Amino acid sequence: METNLSQNDHSTDGAAARGSWGSNFGFIMAAAGSAVGLGNIWGFPMQVGKGGGAVFVMLYLCCVVFICLPILVAELALGRSSGRDPIGAFQVTKPATPWWLAGALGVTAGVGILSFYCVIAGWTLAYIWFSLSGCVGQAPGAFFGAFVADGSKNVLLSFAVLTITAGILLGGVREGIEKASKVMMPALFILLVLLGARALFLPGAASGLAYYLKPDLKEMANIAVLNAALGQAFFSLSLGMGAMITYGSYLSKKTNAVKAAGWVAGLDTMVALLAGFVVFPVGFSIAGFNPAEGGPGLIFSVLPNLFASMPGGALFGAAFFVLLTLAALTSTISLLEVPTAAMVDRGWCRRKSVLLVTLAVAAMAVPSVLSQGAVAWLTKVPGTGMDFLSLMAVVWNNWALPIGGLLISVFVGWVWGADKAIAELKAEGNSFPGARVWAFLIRYVCPVAILFVIVMTARGMFAG
């Protein structure tokens, strides 16, 4: 997997300026890092809890294999074939058509998601110290509420996350993104395995494992559970926002993109599954634990209370939040790289592109920070009942990503053509077993499945 790639096969001056991956292993670590994020650590266990346990896991795995993996392959093929950012990929493949707007949606989504994601990543960064110092105390819920209300502190934390991310991107594709991913992703896996091994020895761990691994087959017919499994799988793999198109554009034609996509999907799924082996044994050791509770309520309020009562809990808690921070950073890297690549491909130097995009995202992050604090009323969105951070999450995660994924699957399957995509994926003698099956899935199954998610999301919104 560590085969050196001397250069990207799009060997023009522009391509050289863009950069390329130095090895297959580096690409897989970077792409898996893009997919792995906070949603794997808290979103997946929460959905498992709401979906009745192991039956959700079964449905999730089916969705990854038959829906999400084909779209991931399609994005890599489109990116590598064009050698361009999401906007340029559509312009090169189908010039003089409005399809470039699908790429523009992905670039905009990257900026929008990063503007609130960096706020949450800042929380995880702060909680490394909070766990080590023991300052969370006996009322972690109240502590968390007071912490997020401190606007100035959280603005600085969000800016710190963006500064770290920008610093990595300034190194370029090979010396920045790839080198950082080669360190952070193995560290994330090691921490996750160690935390899971420790969690298995907690009182109540057996009950947590039983809930996690024993399916309630009655839930198999629950449409809401299927929708949640499909949505979680889709969002977990960073599909629909152009990240994999961008990363694919740095990929050599000598690399077997189908095999690489399999590694990326497999590693992302493994992180989500391993997170369940941490969260459920830990959770079931707490009296009154609700497995359907997730997100900030679980991570920043419930778990710190347990960490404080465990032998060596300060170290365990700090390690857990280091894990979350690594997962967040591997995602912020790709989120910032998408708009950066779009600017680089339009003649801007990487340094100026990174700095300008980072400043824009930092300005957009401020309302999300303030929406959690004492002046939250200033950022309430009229007619929605949501604060600004929550609205941003809904707009970009619930709507922009599935719409982007739908457009990509239709474009690759029908407009560019599945046959041309297969020819690209078979370049340099690479094998593509099951190519006809992939063509059927990307043309018919994936668009229908994503439409199902969009319709169910709209139905839930209007019903609410």
The tens digit of pLDDT for each residue in 252-279 reads: 999 999 999 999 999 999 999 999 898 8
pLDDT of 266:
96
The tens digit of pLDDT for each residue in 389-404 reads: 888 988 998 899 999 9
pLDDT of 263:
97
pLDDT of 7:
37
Question: What are the helix (H) ranges across 64-139?
Answer: 69-82, 86-93, 100-133
Helix axes 313-344, 100-133, angle to 10 degrees: 160
CATH number for the domain running over 13-463: 1.10.4160.10
Q: Are 291 and 49 in contact (CB under 8 A)?
A: yes
Q: Are 236 and 272 in contact (CB under 8 A)?
A: yes
**Amino acid making up residue 322:** V
Helix axes 350-370, 151-170, angle to 10 degrees: 160
pLDDT of 299:
81
pLDDT of 385:
67
CA atoms within 13 A on the CB side of 218: 1
For 372, the token pair is 């959690």
List, as one string, the DSSP characters of 157-190.
HHHHHHHHHHHHHHTHIIIIIIHHHHHHHHHHHH
pLDDT < 70 positions in the chain: 1-17, 287-288, 292-295, 297, 374-385, 463-464
pLDDT of 215:
80
For 363, the token pair is 């300005």
pLDDT of 64:
95
